[in-house]
Structure formats: C-alpha cells, structure tokens
Chains A and B, each alone.
Chain A
Amino acid sequence: MIELQGFGEQIALGAFTTLRTAVTSLALGIGVGLCGALAKGSRFQIIRWLADCYTTLVRGVPELLIILILYFGGTVALTTMFGRYVEVDAFAAGVFALTIVFGAYATEVFRAAIQAVPSGQIEAAQALGLSRFCMWRLVILPQMWRYALPGLGNLWLTLLKDTALISVVGLEDLMRKTSIAAGSTHDPLTFYSIAASLYLLFTSVSLIGLTWLQRRADRGVRFAQ
C-alpha cells in the first residue's frame, strides 16, 4: 500500500482547489470567449482590432509569464493604488490569469463555431422577423455549441493542466500540496506519481463527460449510416 504519511487529506484538499479553480475559470472564460467572438464579428473596426490584439498577445506569450505578470504586477499596482502593501490572493490572481488565457483561445473556437452555423438558418430567422437578440438566443447560439464543443473540450483539458502553473505563485492546489508533501517526506517519487495519477483521472473523467456531451449535442443530427 502507498504510504501517504498523513498527507492524504491535504492532497485531497489540493485536488478540490484545483477543480474549483478550473471550473471557475471555465465559467468565466466561456463568458469572455463569447464576448470576444462577438467583438471579432463587430461592425466597428476598432472593436475587431482590439479583439485581435487580445487573442494574438495572449496566445503568443507563455501562460506562466501571464500568471507572473498578473500576480506580481497586480501586487505592485494595488500597492501603489492603496499606498500600502497589498497581497494579491493567489486564487483570485490564478482564476483571473486562467480566465484571460482560456478566453483568448475560446474566442477563436466560438468565432469559428458561429461561422459554421449555416447562413440559411440566419436568413430564415431574419425572414421570420426575429429581432437580433432573439436570433442569437434561439438560432445561432444553440446551434453554435455543437460546433464549439470539440474545441472547448480540448481547451478544458489544457485548462485543467494549466492550473498546476498557479502553484508557482502559491495557490494551495494539488501541485503545491504535493510539492509540500514531497519536500517534507523526502519522497517526491511517490507524491508526484500520485499527483500525476489524479490529473490523469480528472482528464479521463473529462473525456468521458465530453463524449457524452457531444453525443447529446449531436442527437438532432442525422449521420450517414
């Protein structure tokens, strides 16, 4: 049996923090991604340009560096703003950084998915006299999900693994708890293997869930037999 030396509870807590960080960032990131995709299809050139800048910048810079910029830069900004030392909460900084990263990639996924909705559907909605809001809510968004799901699934798996990077700025997630356990027991091999297995478990369960979601999203579509 694997000897956890009393760190089992801590690791379970860390795993919970990892999942909480990932799910919060996913929810916020989907919002950012939708806004980004709408901005990329905007009538105003300046908004399109801003959205392009956002996705290009974020996708070209390492996630670790973005986390460092937001964490240390945020500390400095808040300290000068309040005139005294303010420590940024690692969870907030981490969720913020992951949301920004996830949002940039999700923008591209949603943009492609929105374009994949057949234009006949949109023309039909216009012919029926639907308002712009109704058209988005009833026609485009429900159909867009099906096209966006594979891309979003991949992004979720990346996000889940990227949470490990926030341990670098001190979030008490699975990776950080594992590091502490590995350091104090002098048994890094066991503890990092446990962490790896847990991440593998999360990604496997996610893959099963994604397959189920995809099947559910495709239920109205007829495929050639």
Chain B
Amino acid sequence: MNLHLIVEVLPLLFEGMLLTAQLTAASVAIGLLLAVPLALLRTSPSSVLSYTIVLYTFVFRGTPLLVQLFLLYYGAGQLEWVRSSAAWSILREPYWCALIAFSLNNGAYTTEILRGGIRAVPSGEIEAAKALGMSYALRIRRIVLPAGFRLALPAYANEVVLMLKASSLASTITLMELTGTARKIVAQTFSPYEVFISAALIYLGFTFLIVHVFGRLERHMAKHQQRAKLKNHSRPRDRAAAKVSASQKVAP
C-alpha cells in the first residue's frame, strides 16, 4: 500500500465523484418523473396502455444496462434519420447517451416498484376517498401516490443505490466519472489496489449516505403510524401508573 499515492490521487477521484453524483441524481430524478405516470397507467384498467408499459419494463429489465448503453451510443449513430435530425447533437455526446440510457433503465425499475406500492395501498383507503366524493385526480394526489410511495420507499431506496452502482458503467463509453477516473489512473500508475480500493471506499460512503437519507425519509413518512402506536401502548399504562402512584400516595 502506497499511502503517498492515495493522497495524490484523492483530489482526482473526488472530481470523478462529482460526475458520478450528478449522473446518479439526474438519472434518478428523470427516472422518477417517467415512472410516476407510467406506474399510474400500469395500474389503471386501460389494457392497451398497460401492455405497452409492460413491454417497456420487460425489455429494460430483461437486458443488461451495458447493452442498452452501447445500443444507444454506438447504434443510434448508424441511422441516417438520427444523424440528420437535431437529436444527433445530443446523441453524439457520451454524457447524454449515458444519461438517457440510465434514466430509461431506472424508469423501468422504478415503474415496477411504484406499481407494487400503489397496489399495496389498502382498498379501504381508496373507497373512503371515493365515499368522500374526491375526484380521480384528487384521489391520486392525496391518497394513492403518498400512500403508495411510502409503501414503495424501502424498495426504492435499494433502487437508488443500484443506480449509483450502475453509473459506473458510464466509464465504458469514455466518461470520466469515479470508475473511469480510477481506471485512467491505474493505467498510468499500474497500482490497482490503492486506486480502486480508494474509489470503492468513496462509493461505499455514498451508499451509506443514500441509505441514511432514505432511512430518515422513511421514518419521517411513517411518523403518524409511530405516534399512533405510542399512544395506544402508553396511554393505558400511563393511566395504570398514575393510579398506582395515586393509590400509593393515599395509602400511607
């Protein structure tokens, strides 16, 4: 282990980390924006739309992300109409290719996760909303989405961690994110242990951060349940305790 080398390459790795963070955050955000309407349509009764969405999630979850990335990066430029269109200025750039591939991939997984959450919303809650005369849009906004998202949150946190790890694939199409930077430095210094393990520790720190933030979010969103539990458990006991202390005071 060459500590001197680690200190030397750390600033470079942190630079790569910024791109990793940016790619992950952007892909997760776009993926979520895609997934919310798709998950709602997927759980709606319209069968034609539902089948189209099933096809989308099946293809993106059934093939390796690397294939999707290469198909977009190397394959799209082969089509004449893509080359001549305005989209070519975007699809030419490895950064945009990676972002599009990651977002579509993340969107497919998130759609299925959200669908699971939405389906798990107790039907009584939705019936209650209907009985109160809420419109479809209001029901979705106030009941289905918040409750569904809360139920899907643990799985979604995993998906965000997977996205962070998947962003390392961007290094295969020349992007200098954390893994790409590490590979470049290893090629120059040929000391794989120091550099790759430093990069691994940075990823690990990132993973812990995501897990921590989602843990807090989960606790925050489950606040009403915790309070209900506390009330149910503490009230009778408090009363009993009060009674005991009162009787003890009186007795002597």
Interface residues as binary, A41-68 with B (CB distance below 8 Å gives 1, 0 otherwise):
0000000000000001101111111101
Q: A204 in the interface, Cβ–Cβ < 8 Å?
A: yes
Residues of A with C-beta under 8 A to B68: 196
Interface residues as binary, B65-89 with A (CB distance below 8 Å gives 1, 0 otherwise):
1111011001110110000000000
Separation of A65 and B200 alpha carbons in the complex (Å):
7
Nearest-neighbor residue (CB-CB) of B186 within chain A: A72
Nearest-neighbor residue (CB-CB) of A200 within chain B: B62
Whether A164 touches B200, Cβ cut-off 8 Å, given contacts A189-B78, A192-B75, is: no
Q: Tell me whether chain B's interface is mostly helix, strand or loop, or mixed.
A: helix
State whether B78 touches A187 (Cβ < 8 A).
yes
Say which one of B201-209, B216-224, B240-248 lies at the interface with A.
Answer: B201-209
State whether B179 touches A65 (Cβ < 8 A).
yes
Separation of A55 and B185 alpha carbons in the complex (Å):
28
State whether A68 touches B179 (Cβ < 8 A).
yes
Separation of A163 and B67 alpha carbons in the complex (Å):
11
Residues of B with C-beta under 8 A to A59: 161, 207
Say which one of B45-53, B91-99, B162-170 lies at the interface with A.
Answer: B162-170
Nearest-neighbor residue (CB-CB) of A175 within chain B: B66
> 8 Å CB contacts to B: which residues of A204-219?
204
A67 to chain B minimum Cβ distance, whole angstroms, is 10
State whether A62 touches B203 (Cβ < 8 A).
yes
Give the tally of cross-chain contacts (CB within 8 A).
Answer: 117
A17 to chain B minimum Cβ distance, whole angstroms, is 14
Whether A64 touches B179, Cβ cut-off 8 Å, given contacts A168-B172, A182-B74, A199-B67, is: yes
State whether B168 touches A64 (Cβ < 8 A).
yes
B176 to chain A minimum Cβ distance, whole angstroms, is 15
State whether B165 touches A193 (Cβ < 8 A).
no
**Seed contacts A56-B204, A167-B66; 6 additional CB < 8 Å A-B pairs:** A59-B161, A61-B204, A62-B167, A64-B171, A76-B190, A192-B74
A-B contact pairs, 21 of them (CB 8 A): A57-B200, A60-B204, A61-B165, A68-B186, A69-B200, A73-B193, A73-B196, A161-B64, A161-B65, A164-B67, A165-B64, A168-B172, A178-B67, A188-B70, A195-B67, A196-B59, A196-B63, A196-B68, A196-B71, A199-B67, A204-B62
Interface residues of B (CB under 8 A from A): 58-59, 61-68, 70-71, 74-76, 78-79, 161, 164-169, 171-172, 179, 182-183, 186, 190-193, 196-197, 199-200, 203-204, 207-208
Interface residues of A (CB under 8 A from B): 56-57, 59-66, 68-69, 72-73, 75-76, 157, 161-165, 167-168, 175, 178-179, 182, 186-189, 192-193, 195-196, 199-200, 203-204
